[in-house]
């Protein structure tokens, strides 16, 4: 049985991805990235709580430079106003590529040190027409092709278990899997949920559409 | 005219790559990675000196975590003995993938901030049969395919100007380009060159083969 490195931000998607795959793997390690995002404290708290529940190891990785070069509102101070749903406002340069390649380096390190094989799990989903570039099946395919060429034995895999699901599908799946939604934090801003950022709007709309109550996001 | 982000370690290959492309680009930025490598001080000094000569901006990026998870001897204390040429001893997990994806994030950031386009230059070369996985034309191709999928406009390119050259070719080219070899530092260890690590052995052998004196490496 293989092991899993799960990229976990403490948000609804990555936590649901963790619940979906948890029984398919032996050891679980949560990789949490601190790239100077405004919601880092809230995200870390959620991620640690879920890690505890799933008996996963929590590992924090500092990628401060990514935050320094980021043009995204989630890395900048200032008030978030309504109608900020343009994804360009929230795009962190090459973020999922940076996260995944770091996770692949970690997977390779674990194999070289302990001869244990890890898959890398990422909770990206189908975001529809207006999607971030690095959330598509083609993107995952290209990362996997790079993983083959860029590691010594080439035997590492990135798995995106939610890639075919849209936000409402993810919530339905999470409900089936008894994901504690109230412990997840999707907001891009500290002291949230703010209800105005892209992630808050998308989460709220999807719960409303499904007529499911989102306790943590009762705004 | 485009600009260039040049991955520069201060070693012979990356410095020769910089000299080869310097006139093809407008602005030059040197990206130097601190991943806890033993030779970081020596490398940084060399990289800064070359940046000054080429009027390039010097930018240092901390990737401490890569050093922490690395299994390579260049990240570990201890004496380096003879006959350590097995590349597995010197392999840092997924290193060039991590470097290049960070550089691509930086290129995208520069475009989003300043509307300036940058290529990413890496000084990898043909290492023959016993090569690190992430030094091949196929590897560069896969990084470029990922760059298309993993950035918003997909318009970023990684260029490896030495990819067809072996070590002796690189030295010959460097000589033509008047690269100040004596300012470059290829050794994996601090207070070097040690003469024993993989890089020292390969550099020494290539200079000997060409009957060119390597002043900085006169051991």
Kindly report whether the peptide bond that precedes residue B140 is cis, defined as omega within 30 degrees of 0.
no
The three-state secondary structure class of B102 is helix
**Chain B contact for A137, CB < 8 A?**
no
Q: Do B71 and A113 touch (CB under 8 A)?
A: yes
Count other Cβ atoms within 10 Å, centred on residue B113: 12
The values of phi and psi at residue A122, to 5°, are -130, 140
8 Å CB contact of A62 and B65: yes
Instruction: For chain B, 219 residues long, give each residue's pLDDT as a single digit of tens.
Output: 899 999 999 999 999 999 999 999 999 999 999 999 999 999 999 999 999 999 999 999 999 999 999 999 999 888 887 776 788 889 999 999 999 999 999 999 999 999 999 999 999 999 998 899 999 999 999 999 999 999 999 999 999 999 999 999 999 999 999 999 999 999 999 999 999 899 999 999 999 999 999 987 654
Calpha distance B71→B77 (Å, rounded): 11
All domains of chain B in start order, with CATH:
3-217 (3.40.50.620)
Contacts of A71 in chain B (CB under 8 A): 109, 112-113
Q: Are B143 and B120 in contact (CB under 8 A)?
A: no
- Ramachandran bin of B58, using left for φ above 0, alpha for ψ from -120 to 50, beta for the remaining angles: beta
CA distance B92 to B86: 13
- Chain B nearest-CA residue for A151: B94
Put simply, whether B154 touches A (Cβ < 8 Å) is: yes
- The CA-based angle A74-B149-A105, given to 5 degrees, is 75
Segment B104-136, tens digit of pLDDT:
999 999 999 999 999 999 999 999 988 999 999
Residue B85: the pLDDT is 72
What pLDDT band is residue A218 in, cutting at 50, 70 and 90? Answer: low
CA separation for the pair B184, B141 (Å, rounded)? 28
């Amino acid at each position: 049985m293989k092991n899993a490195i799960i990229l976990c931000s403490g948000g609804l998607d990555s936590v649901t991805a963790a619940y979906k795959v948890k029984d398919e793997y032996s050891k679980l390690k949560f990789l949490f990235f601190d790239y100077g995002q405004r919601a880092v404290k809230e995200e870390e708290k959620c991620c640690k709580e879920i890690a505890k529940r799933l008996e996963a190891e929590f590992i924090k990785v500092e990628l401060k430079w990514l935050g320094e070069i980021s043009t995204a509102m989630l890395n900048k101070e200032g008030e978030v106003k309504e109608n900020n749903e343009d994804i360009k406002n929230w795009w962190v340069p090459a973020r999922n590529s940076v996260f995944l390649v770091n996770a692949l380096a970690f997977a390779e390190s674990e194999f070289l040190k302990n001869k244990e094989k890890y898959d890398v799990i990422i909770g990206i989903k189908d975001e529809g027409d207006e999607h971030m570039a690095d959330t598509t099946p083609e993107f995952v395919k290209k990362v996997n092709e790079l993983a083959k060429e860029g590691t010594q034995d080439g035997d590492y895999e990135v798995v995106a278990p939610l890639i075919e699901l849209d936000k409402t599908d993810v919530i339905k799946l999470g409900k089936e899997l008894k994901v504690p939604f109230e412990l997840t934090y999707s907001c891009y801003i500290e002291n949230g949920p703010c209800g105005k950022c892209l992630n808050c709007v998308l989460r709220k709309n999807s719960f409303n559409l499904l007529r499911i109550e989102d306790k943590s996001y009762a705004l």
